[in-house]
Amino acid sequence: SQTIHQWPATLVQPVGSPLSLECTVEGTSNPNLYWYRQAAGRGLQLLFYSVGIGQISSEVPQNLSASRPQDRQFILSSKKLLLSDSGFYLCAWSITGQKGNQPQHFGDGTRLSIL
Partner 1 sequence: GQNIDQPTEMTATEGAIVQINCTYQTSGFNGLFWYQQHAGEAPTFLSYNVLDGLEEKGRFSSFLSRSKGYSYLLLKELQMKDSASYLCAVRDSNYQLIWGAGTKLIIKP
Instruction: List, in order, residues 6 or more apart from 43 with CB less than 8 Å away.
Output: none
Helix/strand number for the chain, H first, E second: 0, 11
CB of 44 to partner 1, least distance (A): 4
Name which of residues 74 to 93 contact partner 1 (CB under 8 A).
Answer: 90
Of positions 18, 26, 27, 42, contacts partner 1 by CB under 8 A: 42
| Residue 49 backbone dihedrals phi, psi, to 5 degrees | -145, 160
Tell me if 41 contacts partner 1 by CB under 8 A: yes
Rule CB under 8 A: which residues touch partner 1? 41-46, 49, 90, 98-99, 101, 103-109, 111
